[in-house]
Chain A
Amino acid sequence: MIAEIGLAALWLSAALAVLQLLGGFAGARAADGVAPLSALVRPAATLQAFLCSIAFLSLVYLFAVTDLSVRLVAINSHSMKPMIFKLSGTWGNHEGSMLLWVTVMAMAGGLIALIERRLAERTMMATLAAQAFVALGFYAFLILSSNPFERLTEVPAEGNGLNPLLQDIGLAFHPPTLYIGYVGLSVAFSFAVGALLTRAVTPEFARVMRPWVLAAWIFLTIGITAGSYWAYYELGWGGWWFWDPVENASLMPWLAATALLHSASVLAARDALRTWTIMLGVIAFSMSMVGTFLVRSGILTSVHAFAVDPERGSFILGLLILYIGGALVIFALRANTIAEGERFSLVSREGALVVNNIALSAILGIVLLGTLYPLLTEAFDVRVSVGPPYFNPVGAIFFLPMVLVLMVGPLLRWRRDEFSRIIKPVALAGTIVLAVLVGVALLNDIGILSVLGLALAAGLAIASWAPLFKRALLRTPLAVWGMCLAHFGVAVALFGMAADSAFQKERLVAASVGDVVEVGPWTGRLDSVNALAGQNWTAMQANMMISYDGGPEREARPQSRNFWTPQMETSEVALLTRWNGQLYVAVGNQAEDGRWQLRLWWKPFVTFIWYGGLLIALGGALALVGRVIGDLRRRRYATDVDDHDELPLEPEVQPAS
């Protein structure tokens, strides 16, 4: 019964999307945005969000009670699994995660329909029509080729279980966070298409779009950061980023959204970079869809596997071509009718932000190329691998200069500035960079990228706060604080990445009980190894006492786990965290001579990578709160004076002089 309710809710949502599309389209054609059906558009969007939530909750319920008559549950769940993993198992599979996808998309559409009142009604109608049009394709995909509510005629006695790597608390939070970010960007896409259709690419439009993009971007940032940490402790070898196509699929929308946020700032403050902002709005969500295609079509396992069973893949590919192609056609038709916008000189805030945009777009291009190229050659039976030795240096060509500009950019004024005005902070940051560069290069024999990373991180850590210098801190807008914090987060993360690759110490040994193992400043002793059992696994646990630099001993209990449904071995690592890094301990199998494989890594400052990611997200959250408070204030002001023409402009980020 519950499965049927869920499926009915999905069909109804799709029907409402049709209504929303028609009404929105009619509204967008009318000069004032009012047409016969247009009054139904906002309610249709809101109701869709509600119905999709019902469909999603139905599936969660089916997983919670392990209703094995539902095919998806039987294939992916098991009655003996802990409850939390039954719930999170809902989105640990293809159909469930696509249902989460459309649910987030419907929620995003419902939210803008419900609360966004600042745009001209016509543009809003076009936006909601675009949102419905995109949603429709994914409803069709879900219902026609990935129905999560399909029943089985013969109910099996037990389910197949969930991949043990996914039986982790990370699965409970990582995919929903990431999807809110991914799919939240659909709003940017729809706004961009709406503004193109109604020729309304204005600073006001950028201000309306910005908080939505910012919100999606915050979730995306947290999702990527959490995903990286999850891979780090779950895979058992200490790696935190593999340039895996699935990781790249989440990084690409983030890069585009980051560029979009910055160019939207230029459009909002200075009415420049109009076409560029629209283009990035289209690209950001396009990257989400490309990512969905890569992950969901099965093309990554093998191009040939995809060719053998192409139904789902071709469906998403068709949607990709329709939406991205369609948006680009509209863009091509309308771009020349949008004026360039205001001009600016080389040395200006806009100039620096253009560098940011070009660099981020170039990195995006490289990640896209490196991800798709092996698939392309594989189609011609030539298999190549593109991995860290390619992405790291080639990406750095753009990333490192961008960080240099990032130190200076926020200090510059809009439109036109002189370097002589900001010479003092620039000189200070430059000195720090050079000092660290020389110091690190002389002291240690480490890779050039790590040296540059450490130096630039040090410079940026100071320079990121320079925009606050000489300002009345309490009266500084929250958005400025957010910007400084996010940029500081970039420095922190960069420092963590560079320090980990430069100073990591590795120790792989076969140890008997009683043996002492040393790695970097750490000394550990293997006291005992014992067997243990959980609800659906058994494990061998190594009990170690480990001390840092002769200090007090701490316990580390890494496990090697054997899950039995499905059969799989995983590492549960032990992490000893200090302020200056983490000791990573994993235990492997027992050798024939009775010794245990122990793997230890001392990873100085590795935690800074994820602290940095969180700081970036926190900076975004501060900026978002600042923007929303500003909007509310202005709305109150607008109703007080009842004169829309004389709204005070939003205070834009401007350095004190």
Chain B
Amino acid sequence: MKTVLTALLALFCAAIFAAPVAAQDTMPPAPYAYQQLDDPALEEAARVLMETLRCLKCQSQSIADSDAPMAGDMRHQVRSRIQAGETPDEVRDWLVERYGDYVSYDPQVSATTWPLFVVPLLLVLFGGLMFWRRVGRKGESA
């Protein structure tokens, strides 16, 4: 009896954990991989978001630019979640949680990325300083 229960439990667990996998891999093609949402506003929000998500299987392409099956699955995920009412930021956070920062092309200020934002600021300051120094000496005195 105990073994039967264990087996049932195992089956049940397998079913639970396999469900998302099946949704991804064994239902080709995911409906929204190559199809747009009906609501233009939602589709637009999804498109803008997809253009900032990295296709993890490609070299430097967003999931909006890729034929890779994984990119198709991710497009499907993004569109279905947007349609279900999630905001683009929530979808992005969910994907980042799942795949890491690497999936987002839009780096957020963090302990690892701060130089990306400080350096342009410094460039503005430094450029301004250079300009001021170059032309600070008036042509009149020459």
Residue in A244, A370, A383, A506 whose CB lies within 8 Å of B116: A370
A383 and B36: CB pair below 8 A? no
The answer to whether B123 touches A362, judged by C-beta atoms less than 8 angstroms apart, is yes
Do residues B107 and A386 form an inter-chain contact, with CB atoms below 8 A?
yes
Interface residues of B in 97-142 (CB under 8 A from A): 100-107, 112-113, 115-116, 119-120, 123-124, 127, 130-131, 134-135, 137-142
Q: Which residue of A lies closest to B141 (CB)?
A: A343
In the complex, identify which listed stretch (A188-196, A204-212, A320-328, A353-361) lies at the interface while the others stay far away. Answer: A353-361
- Point out the residue from A235, A343, A358, A385 that lies within 8 Å of B104, measured CB to CB: A385
Structural contact, B101 and A385, CB atoms closer than 8 A:
yes
Tell me the nearest residue of chain B to A383, going by C-beta. Answer: B102
State in angstroms the CA–CA spacing of A346 and B134 once bound together. Answer: 9
Judged by a CB distance under 8 angstroms, whether B81 is at the interface is: no
Residue of B nearest to A361 (CB): B127
The answer to whether A242 touches B65, judged by C-beta atoms less than 8 angstroms apart, is yes
Task: Name the A residues within 8 Å of B141 (CB-CB).
Answer: 343
Closest beta carbon of chain B to A77's beta carbon, Å: 23
- Which residues in window 372-417 of A have CB below 8 A to B? 373, 377, 382-390, 394, 397-398, 415-416
CB proximity of B128 to chain A, nearest CB, Å? 8
CB pair B29 A369 closer than 8 Å: no
Determine the distance from Cα of A245 to Cα of B105 in the docked complex, in whole angstroms. Answer: 13
Contact with A along B37-60 (1 / 0, CB 8 A): 000000000010001101000011
Given contacts A244-B59, A386-B107, contact A369 B112 (CB under 8 A): no
A-B contact count (CB 8 A): 140
Identity of the chain A residue whose Cβ is nearest the Cβ of B36 in the assembled complex = A508
Across the interface, name the chain A residue whose C-beta is closest to B43: A506
Question: Of B65, B106, B130, B140, which one neighbours A237 at CB under 8 angstroms?
Answer: B65
Task: Please determine whether B36 and A506 come into contact, CB atoms closer than 8 angstroms.
Answer: yes
Q: Which residues of A contact B64 (CB under 8 A)?
A: 237
In the complex, are the beta carbons of B36 and A346 less than 8 A apart?
Answer: no
**Contact present for A385 and B54 (CB under 8 Å):** yes
CA of A385 to CA of B55 in the docked complex: distance in angstroms?
Answer: 11
Q: Contact check: which of A236, A389, A591 meets B105 at CB < 8 Å? A: A389
B105 touches A359 (CB 8 A): no
Chain B residue at smallest Cβ distance from A359 = B127
B67 CB-CB contact with A under 8 Å: yes
Indicate if the CB atoms of A235 and B123 lie closer than 8 Å: no
Please state if A242 and B142 are interface contacts (CB–CB under 8 Å).
Answer: no
Q: Specify which of A350, A384, A415 is in contact with B107 (CB 8 Å cutoff).
A: A384
Check A589/B29 contact, CB under 8 A, given A387-B106, A388-B51, A506-B36: yes
Name the B residues within 8 Å of A239 (CB-CB): 61-62, 65
> Which residue of chain B has its CB nearest to the CB of A571?
B67
User: How far does the Cβ of B45 sit from chain A's closest Cβ, in whole Å?
Assistant: 13
Residues of A within 8 A of B131 (CB): 354-355, 358
Q: What residues on B are CB-neighbors of A592 within 8 Å?
A: 28-29
A343→B124 contact, CB < 8 A: no
Residue contact A236 to B59, C-beta cutoff 8 Å: no
User: A507 contacts the other chain (Cβ, under 8 Å)?
Assistant: yes
One digit per residue, 1 when the CB lies within 8 angstroms of any chain A CB and 0 when it does not, for chain B 60-88 equals 11101111000000000000000000000
Once the chains are docked, how many angstroms separate the CA of A506 from the CA of B36?
9
Residues of the A chain whose Cβ atoms lie less than 8 Å from the Cβ of B127: 358-359, 361-362, 398
Instruction: Name 27 A/B residue pairs within 8 A (Cβ), A-sorted.
Output: A235-B61, A237-B61, A239-B65, A242-B65, A244-B61, A245-B60, A246-B60, A342-B142, A348-B135, A354-B131, A358-B130, A359-B127, A362-B120, A369-B116, A369-B119, A369-B120, A387-B52, A387-B62, A388-B62, A389-B105, A390-B106, A398-B124, A398-B127, A415-B139, A509-B36, A569-B67, A597-B29
Binding site for B on A (CB under 8 A): 235-239, 242-246, 273, 300-301, 342-346, 348, 350-351, 354-355, 358-359, 361-362, 365-366, 369-370, 373, 377, 382-390, 394, 397-398, 415-416, 506-510, 569, 571, 588-589, 591-592, 597, 599
